[in-house]
Structure 1
């Protein structure tokens, strides 16, 4: 079975099922999406696209995006989602990064929409085609794909390195969707809602899972959420969607933007995936407390662990279990690599449990170390990539497990994430987790929306924090307060660097880039 084949099976069962794109003012049925994708595939073939080639997809969260992904599979080609710019501030950097992807993927054709056509004029290589014009072709008999053919070239968001092309086959995609479907027991009564970008794995493969199950889908643009999380929540409740996913910062945005006295009914929200970045105990607690009166059940909050290299998800908690977390000795965790359970307190770090391996996947730490010992998280299973595009030697252990680059530990089968190995700070022989430094700074008044990143630079810890403060005295007090609190709570005094709001670079999924900020800091060092 292939990606378009699995979709067609769902469309044949429920041809009139609706897919809505509120931000685009568009709604279509499964049947209409299937027909349009066949026409786009025929148009691509007429334009010279061939089986085994790579087709770029540059489109907003829209029918055009899904049509192009399905069309590539019908042709026997691979779809390569391209990121959209996050604004005009760094448009040159965006174009350089996108050109890097275009070149690495060796795109032969690029499907886009009129409003994004100006961007393609700055990209060289592929033949640029309009999705609507492609859809005017008559369907044709096409070669199709095999399960082991590449379905998607998913370039990583680059939170710690340059983007790499993850090769995902049709079999990988289907295995991932089947794992999610079984883990959260999707039924015909469910409905999927998402504002995550379709060019990102969490947005794309979540939506694909919904499509495979033939359930209603409502797909907003990321801007609809970011501009007004409170307004988006109103639309989400009106759609009565039962499944939604977002990073931890999304739940934080809802906390600070939804008025406390607003009447809501969130009882329909059955599964609230929380992933793609570190999950804070404080965020989970606050969200559950704030929205419990609105009918949001604790069991709906679903912390997840995954990565593009596993298509999307590797672990999920048991269905209908409230979130769990444990408090561990912070100094021992960083210094000895052991998660020693302690009572909640100033010297403890709270870590959210991310569940167990989903069906079809297995998870271990550093080849199988004892419970509570920190090491590199390793995964294996049907949804795991065979490797990166153009890299003969993939990130695998000798016995074939994917090395994720993430650090964590297991406790009775439950996975706990502690940080990224590349981002660990080592100063004078002592290890410090950047998350610990950031957690202290985030609680200081004056740090804009808690946005800050910590990293090492020349044997010292640097903490970059966004702030709206303009007064020199106020900025000096903020600077000293952050440094003093870190010294008191962690025993380290970082070099604090205050920057303007939104100055810290982000990945395409919205995560703050520690290493990206480190490079910027080094070039702009005061």
Structure 2
């Protein structure tokens, strides 16, 4: 069984079938999966009626955008699309975009690329945003699905095409563009079905487990964690991102009292919670039933893992609960996960031995040139992983593939892996000659577990040596945190920059944008301190630390820096300085 509607229908009939809980919404409503499916069919019928009236055709829609905040209407919209054999296209909310024009232009590009038949919205969008978006997408229908349609029209819904589940698109997940322009990741019903199973099997789900999710559902981590739990017949607790971001301690208390036992979030989430609790320790917090805390969606930092474990141990948090993971939309989320029975593992390795093809050199913790890297565990069920050192695709299976302990590009294969990006020609698709997905991530395997060291493109080469953005960011964060105790987790972004050399030609530099509310003089002083530490620890003289206002650095919905957008911000700052 690979058609998602049939999978959710079977889950609703399971003996342990649970519900969608909304713990911080008024009345703390809960929707059993059986009720969600009934409401989804009513919504599907309403969508057909409204798109038919607009298009003058009774053809079921092929692709539906979903633009709303986390809530029952979002989950119901996804289920309704699956019922119609329509692909859902999750659309981002304005958070993380610099200005309304940039946001609406981004949505317009997605709507054109995906050829959307309609965009489903609800009242959470807000009238001002809804008007602006609708004005910029005048040729696209907007359907408000805050409440489902009338029951009697569900008998007119099309039959389920189970035989076509391997080719019918279920999700087109546009990448958030942290290093490049957004691309539409195409996922069939079969891809998503395999990916949802890999999530729950990889995390060792039991019938009593419940995913707690505050990540926005338009992000692959939010979408597929919600769907994976429901597809197994388990409950989901769903919050809105602002519930967490605005009041992390209130959210944490609510999480602890909810049915949730599993949560997935980016590394910065755990930094934020640690800073909040250290500043204002709660008197009554019990985290003893928290079974899995997935840490992924951005580089996992050892200092974050250790600080969280130490800070929350008095509240019943077990060290083994923290589980670094690796995932991406192209693999329907989960790629690898660490061992649930033991605390996460990490290594210190020579930071100058991390180029593709290098053999990793372990070092003692704290040694000169030592870089700590955290294990992301073993491949998820059904997924195959290899490390490639080839410059390009390789010419045959095994060509240019690294053995254990050697750095190369992470490449993937399996039933959950995408068939490619929407509308891109074959020579622009991310596959090797023998069909493996090229992730663009650099890593190595040690004792059967995957360690990530950076992105193929997020680095500069100076005097024949590679310097990674993650290394520079981590040094700057550490220095600034020490200089500003209690300031919390402010965002920084290291971006490669090619500048004109004084003697002619070009020179590569690393520019670090750093958000701060400090006055200009103090910010400049701390920027010099941070820059000096980068030079001291890495031997990188070609670095500039540039203070910017808080919330200025573009970021994705999961908290990752949008390096392309950050580069644009730096260019605008440089232009302003030149003109001034």
Could you tell me the TM-score, scaled by structure 2's length? 0.87
Q: Does the aligned pair in 2 maintain the 1:76–1:143 contact within 8 Å?
A: no
Distance 1:199 1:100 in 2: 16
Q: 1:372 to 1:450 in 2, by over 3 A?
A: farther
Q: Distance in 1 between matches of 2:190 and 2:353?
A: 42
The gaps in structure 2 that reach 5 residues or longer are 53-57, 389-399, 500-506
Q: Name 2:150's counterpart in structure 1.
A: 136
Kept after mapping to 2: 8 A contact 1:427/1:461: no
Aligned to 1:461: 510
Distance in 2 of aligned mates of 1:308 and 1:16 = 27
The more displaced of 136-145 and 463-472 is 136-145
State which of 102, 105, 119 in structure 2 corresponds to 1:110.
119
The CA deviation at 1:87 is 6.7
> Is 2:80 the counterpart of 1:66?
no
> How far has the Cα of 1:319 moved from its partner?
2.6
Q: Which ranges of 4 or more aligned residues in structure 1 deviate by more than 6 Å?
A: none
Offset of residue 421 of structure 1 = 1.0
Kept after mapping to 2: 8 A contact 1:159/1:511: yes
In 1, the alpha carbon distance for the partners of 2:222 and 2:202 equals: 18
CA offsets, 1:125-170, max 9 Å, x none?
Answer: 3211111465235312313343221111111111111111011111
CA contact (8 A) 2:454 2:470 kept: yes
Question: What is the 5 A alignment of 1:260-279?
Answer: 260=281, 262-279=283-300
Instruction: Give the equivalent residue in structure 2 for 1:147.
Output: 165
How far apart are residue 193 of structure 1 and its match? 0.9
Q: 2:320 and 2:573 mapped to 1: Cα distance? A: 46
Q: Which runs of 5+ in 1 are unaligned?
A: none
Query: Is 1:392 the counterpart of 2:425 in the alignment?
Result: yes
1:125 partnered with 2:131: no
Match of 1:407 among 434, 442, 445: 442
Matched with 1:524 is 573
- Tell me how far apart the structure 2 counterparts of residues 240 and 38 of structure 1 sit (CA, whole Å): 27
For residues 338-386 of structure 1, give each alpha carbon's deviation from its aligned partner in whole angstroms, at most 9, with x where no partner exists.
3210001142100000011111001111152022221111011010000
How far apart, in 2, do the equivalents of 1:448 and 1:305 lie? 25
Mapping of residues 77-92 of structure 1, within 5 Å = 77-86=86-95, 90-92=99-101
User: Paired residues, what number?
Assistant: 525
After superposition, where does 1:429-444 map in structure 2 within 5 Å? 429-444=464-479
Q: What RMSD in Å do the two structures reach over aligned CA positions?
A: 1.9
Partner of 1:478: 526
- Name the CA distance, whole Å, in 1 between partners of 2:466 and 2:515: 25
Q: Distance in 2 between matches of 1:335 and 1:213?
A: 39
Distance 1:212 1:13 in 2: 10
| Cα separation, 1, equivalents of 2:8 and 2:356 | 49
Alpha-carbon distance in 2 for matches of 1:221, 1:190: 20
Q: Any conservation in 2 of the 1:327–1:350 contact (CA below 8 Å)?
A: yes
Kindly indicate whether the alpha-carbon contact (under 8 Å) linking 1:153 and 1:167 is maintained by their aligned counterparts in 2.
yes
Match for residue 381 of structure 2 among 340, 359, 383: 359
1:312 aligns with 2:333: yes
Q: Name the counterpart of 1:224.
A: 243
Residue pair 1:73, 1:144 contacting (<8 A) in 2 also: no
2:312 is matched with which residue?
291
Q: Tell me if structure 2 keeps the 8 A contact 1:210–1:217.
A: yes
CA distance in 1: counterparts of 2:123 and 2:45, whole angstroms = 20
2:261 paired with 1:242: yes
The Cα offsets for residues 219-238 of structure 1, whole Å up to 9 and x where unpaired, read as 00001000011110000011
Task: Give the conservation status (yes or no) of the 8 Å contact 1:240–1:269.
Answer: no
Q: What's the CA shift for 1:428? A: 4.0
SS at match of 2:457: helix
Contact 2:171 2:187 in 1 (8 A): yes
Distance in 2 (alpha carbons) for counterparts of 1:56 and 1:136:
22
Q: Does 2:48 match 1:32?
A: no
> Matched residues in 2 for 1:483 and 1:19: separation?
48
Displacement of 1:334: 5.1
| Kept after mapping to 1: 8 A contact 2:330/2:418 | yes
Given the superposition, is the C-alpha separation of residues 206 and 260 from structure 1 closer, same or farther in structure 2, using an over 3 Å criterion?
A: same
Inter-CA distance 341–384: structure 2 relative to 1 (3 Å threshold): same
Contact preservation (8 Å) 1:2, 1:170: yes
State the partner residue of 2:393: none
One of 554, 558, 564 as aligned partner of 1:505: 554
Conserved? CA contact 2:387–2:410, under 8 Å: yes
Could you tell me how far 1:197 is from its partner in structure 2?
Answer: 0.5
- Cα deviations across residues 416-471 of structure 1 (Å, max 9, x unaligned)? 01111121112343210111111111112248724212222222221211122105
Structure-2 residue corresponding to 1:13: 14
Instruction: For 2:476 and 2:288, locate their aligned partners in 1 and report how far apart those are by CA, in whole Å.
Output: 35
Could you tell me which of 173, 176, 181 is aligned with 1:162?
Answer: 181
Q: 1:300 to 1:107 in 2, by over 3 A?
A: same
SS of equivalent residue, structure 2 residue 82? helix
Task: Indicate which of 159, 182, 198 corresponds to 1:179.
Answer: 198
Most deviating of 276-285 and 5-14: 5-14
Separation in 1 of the partners of 2:216 and 2:321? 22
How far 1:487 moved relative to its partner?
1.3
Pair 1:451-2:491 in alignment: yes
TM-superposed CA distance for 1:519, in Å, is: 2.0
| Contact residue 166 and residue 389 of structure 1 kept, 8 A | yes
CA distance in 1, matches of 2:420, 2:357: 32
Moved more, 503-512 or 367-376: 367-376
In the alignment, the residues of structure 1 paired with residue 573 and residue 138 of structure 2 have an alpha-carbon distance, to the nearest angstrom, of: 31
* Shift, 1:327, TM fit: 0.2
Change (3 A) 1:134 1:265: closer
Secondary structure of 1:383's counterpart equals coil
Deviation at 1:115, TM superposition (A): 4.2
* Pairing 1:322–2:331 present: no
Aligned residue for 2:504? none
User: Measured at CA, do residues 321 and 469 of structure 1 come closer, stay the same or move farther in structure 2, by a change above 3 Å?
Assistant: same
| TM-superposed deviation, 1:91 | 2.0
Partners in 1 of 2:356 and 2:96 — Cα distance? Answer: 40
How far did 1:336 drift? Answer: 7.2
Counterpart in the other structure of 1:100: 109
User: After superposition, what is the alpha-carbon deviation per residue over 1:268-291, rounded to whole angstroms, capped at 9, x for unaligned?
Assistant: 111111100000000000011111
Contact 1:426 1:456 in 2 (8 A): no
**Which string of whole-angstrom CA distances, capped at 9 and with x for unpartnered residues, describes residues 55-89 of structure 1?**
11112111111111111111111111111111785
Q: Could you tell me which residue of structure 2 aligns to residue 197 of structure 1?
A: 216
